[in-house]
């Protein structure tokens, strides 16, 4: 039997991968600082504003199309980020032309160490699959009701795993960030990313409703093989 064809699945896939690549390639290079009422001055990596959107797309994919199709998208993002990391490494390593004087700035923007790259890919892989798995299971437990509970609940789990893996793996005993600050950063990023999901819940509801209607699909993963190491649908 041929897999069912959908109108918008590929567009959601491209949106997911685009957000993920941009949040990892553009955001982390800049430390931003804002002064907020009651909270004072906060400093954060700019990517934290956009990376949670990939979890929103992950929620939409699993909710509408099911875990197996979300799994293919997660692997697409993993492959795209791996290629981007290799490409960045090669381009940064190429000897600059004598008349080009921006190598230092280029290295700051795109010269992530392999430890950080591996930490990012590992955290993404584990966090996204936890997010998709939890949402798929919660959809069955709630009989498809209370969408907000599974979008937020799955994000709490997925982003928690992501932060728990990334910061120690990337920065522990490196001297870049003091070890005693790493747990604080993990907690701050986890809370911030989850709050972004909460704020975007109305948008998630709207997109899910439109896609379910347009695709005539509302997938339940009752008989799904939840291994992450497969591309079957």
Which tens digit of pLDDT belongs to each residue from 166-186? 989 988 888 877 888 888 888
Distance, in Å, from the CA atom of 74 to the CA atom of 128, rounded to the nearest integer, reads: 7
- Spell out the alpha helix ranges (H) of 111-217: 114-141, 147-171, 182-199, 201-215
Q: Is the pLDDT of residue 147 over 70?
A: yes
Beta strand pairing status for 31-36 and 40-45? antiparallel
Which tens digit of pLDDT belongs to each residue from 106-142? 887 787 778 888 999 999 999 999 999 999 999 999 9
Mind listing the domains of the chain with CATH numbers?
Answer: 9-215 (1.10.1760)
Closest among 205, 198, 59 to 136, alpha carbons compared: 59
Give the pLDDT band of residue 43 (cuts 50, 70, 90): low
- Taking the model in full, what pTM does it have? 0.91
Closest among 3, 1, 2 to 219, alpha carbons compared: 3
Distance, in Å, from the CA atom of 142 to the CA atom of 138, rounded to the nearest integer, reads: 6
Q: Which residue has the tokens 């293919």?
A: 72
Distance, in Å, from the CA atom of 205 to the CA atom of 85, rounded to the nearest integer, reads: 34
Which tens digit of pLDDT belongs to each residue from 46-96? 677 788 889 999 999 999 999 999 999 999 999 999 999 999 899 999 999
88's CB contacts (< 8 A; 6+ apart) are 25, 110, 111, 112
Q: Is the pLDDT of residue 148 over 80?
A: yes
């Amino acid at each position: 039997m041929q897999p069912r064809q959908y109108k918008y699945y590929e567009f959601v896939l491209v949106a997911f991968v685009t957000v993920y690549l941009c949040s990892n390639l553009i955001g982390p290079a800049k430390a931003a600082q804002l002064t907020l009422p009651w909270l004072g001055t906060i400093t954060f990596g700019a990517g934290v504003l956009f990376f949670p959107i990939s979890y929103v797309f992950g929620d939409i994919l699993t909710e509408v199309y099911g875990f197996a199709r979300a799994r293919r998208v997660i692997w697409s993002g993993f492959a795209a980020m791996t290629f981007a990391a290799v490409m960045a490494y090669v381009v940064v390593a190429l000897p600059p032309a004598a008349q080009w004087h921006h190598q230092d700035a280029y290295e700051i923007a795109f010269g992530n160490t392999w430890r950080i790259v591996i930490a990012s890919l590992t955290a993404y892989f584990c966090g996204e699959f936890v997010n998709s798995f939890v949402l798929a299971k919660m959809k069955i437990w709630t009989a498809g009701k209370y969408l907000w509970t599974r979008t937020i609940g799955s994000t709490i789990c997925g982003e928690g795993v992501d932060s728990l893996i990334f910061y120690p793996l990337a920065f522990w005993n490196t001297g870049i960030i003091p070890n005693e600050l790493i747990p604080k950063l993990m907690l701050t990023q986890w809370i911030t990313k989850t709050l972004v999901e909460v704020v975007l819940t109305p948008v998630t509801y709207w997109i899910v409703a439109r896609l379910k209607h347009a695709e005539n699909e509302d997938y339940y993963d009752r008989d799904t093989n939840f291994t992450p190491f497969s591309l079957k649908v």
